[in-house]
């Protein structure tokens, strides 16, 4: 793959105006109500649409429910993964399969109100390429979740070179040209909110109140969220890597001064043996800092390893409703271009 993208590829207008991408993981309780609400929003719009549903290896009835909806309404299309690949990858796959001129990404649990699609479309028609939905409020979430989310957006805002909009989930509208650019990004660690911001183009925001989950439970526990946050920070910032260089420099300078002081003191007053405490503190704290540095190096190295292996991003077991895709397909970065 060459280093630079061939800018935005030439894009022909598609017959499908609007594509909706929805990742589904164990969402059987939400499916019927989800389609009822989304179809109520889409029908009066009078545009050709498609809803690309990605079943991310659900262990419940999700996929058979989705297929039933596909038979009822062929505009509902289903990509069935071979296993659970995670939400970020599911969104990526969904976008790969879309053909619409505008693509909206949203959750299946109705936390992203389908009614907002009107506003997203209106902004897009004004000429914006990316319209993201910013949460004015979050309902039905614990203070701990809100606090950790709040802190995360502030930390990543400070360390990342790409400004990542605060309090913004994946709920947004993308113009076809942005989707084509995203499809060319071969990164495995797909921190989508970062990538959405990284591409640039003309972006704008609309505000909304985030509803509580309709049914079922969020599958994101704090350990998953922590790792998600690390993915975000390590793929969009080198600050954790560079920090230790500066810390080392500072410690070296202090040590040098202290060494000078010791030499002078020894020359003037001779040797005195005690100093066990200061010695232990210095050895232990430096040991700790060095291990931490190694850990950070490991985080980056592990991600480099993931990229280098070049495994396909996702495997599709079956796809329903797509004319020009094989039933069983494998996605690799080069074949996705
Ligand atoms: N999801 C997915 N794969 C996963 C976990 C979640 O596709 O491994 C989907 C899930 O079905 C939902 C969306 O991602 O449509 C958001 O998930 P969830 O509501 O659990 O996350 P939260 O809203 O708590 O961030
Ligand atoms: Mg949710």
What are the tens digits of pLDDT across the range 307-328?
888 788 899 988 888 876 544 4
Q: From the CA of 15, how far away is ligand 1's center (Å)? A: 30
Q: Starting from the CA of residue 59, give the closest ligand.
A: 1
Q: End-to-end distance of the chain based on CA atoms, in angstroms? A: 10
Q: To which H or E segment does residue 72 belong?
A: helix 62-72
Q: For position 191, what pLDDT does the model report? A: 82
In 3D space, the residue among 65, 66, 60, 61 whose CA is nearest the CA of residue 79 turns out to be: 66
pLDDT in tens, 54-82: 999 999 999 999 999 999 999 999 999 99
For the Cβ of 129 lying below 6 angstroms from any atom of ligand 1, the answer is no
Q: From the CA of 161, how far away is ligand 1's center (Å)? A: 27
Nearest CA to ligand 1 atom 22: 218
Q: Which range in 94-108, 201-215, 236-250, 276-290 is most confidently predicted, on average pLDDT?
A: 94-108
Residue 106: partners with Cβ closer than 8 Å, 6 or more residues away: 20, 21, 22, 112, 114, 170, 171
Q: From the CA of 8, how far away is ligand 2's center (Å)? A: 32
Helix extents (H) in 199-275? 222-236, 239-269
Q: For position 102, what pLDDT does the model report? A: 94
In 3D space, the residue among 118, 89, 124 whose CA is nearest the CA of residue 195 turns out to be: 89
Q: How many CA atoms lie within 13 A of 19 on its CB side?
A: 25
- What pTM did the predictor assign? 0.74
Distance of alpha carbon 78 from alpha carbon 87, whole angstroms: 15
Q: For position 336, what pLDDT does the model report? A: 41
């Amino acid at each position: 793959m060459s280093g630079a993208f061939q800018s935005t590829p030439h894009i022909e207008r598609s017959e499908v105006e609007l594509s909706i991408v929805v990742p589904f993981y164990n969402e059987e309780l939400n499916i019927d109500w989800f389609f009822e609400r989304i179809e109520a929003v889409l029908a009066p719009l009078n545009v050709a649409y498609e809803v690309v549903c990605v079943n991310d290896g659900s262990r419940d009835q999700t996929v058979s429910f989705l297929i039933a909806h596909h038979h009822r309404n062929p505009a509902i299309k289903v990509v069935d993964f071979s296993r659970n690949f995670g939400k970020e990858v599911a969104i990526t796959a969904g976008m790969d399969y879309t053909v619409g001129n505008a693509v909206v990404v949203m959750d299946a649990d109705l936390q992203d109100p389908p009614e907002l699609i009107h506003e997203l479309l209106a902004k897009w028609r004004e000429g914006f390429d990316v319209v993201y939905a910013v949460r004015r409020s979050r309902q039905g979430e614990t203070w701990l979740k809100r606090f950790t989310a709040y802190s995360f957006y502030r930390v990543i805002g400070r360390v990342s070179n790409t400004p990542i909009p605060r309090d913004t989930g994946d709920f947004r509208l993308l113009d076809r040209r942005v989707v084509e650019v995203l499809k060319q990004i071969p990164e495995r660690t797909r921190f989508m909110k970062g990538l959405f911001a990284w591409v640039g183009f003309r972006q704008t925001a609309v505000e909304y109140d985030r509803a509580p989950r309709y049914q079922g439970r969020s599958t994101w526990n704090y350990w998953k969220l922590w790792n998600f946050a690390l993915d975000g920070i390590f793929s969009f910032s080198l600050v954790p890597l560079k920090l230790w260089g500066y810390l080392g420099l500072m410690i070296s300078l202090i040590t040098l001064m202290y060494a000078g002081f010791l030499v002078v003191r020894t020359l003037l007053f001779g040797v005195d043996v005690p100093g066990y405490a200061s010695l232990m503190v210095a050895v232990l704290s430096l040991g700790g800092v060095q291990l931490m540095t190694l850990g950070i190096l490991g985080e980056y190295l592990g991600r480099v390893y993931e990229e280098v292996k070049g495994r396909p991003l996702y495997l599709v077991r079956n796809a329903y409703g797509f004319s020009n895709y094989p039933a069983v397909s494998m996605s690799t970065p080069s074949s996705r271009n």
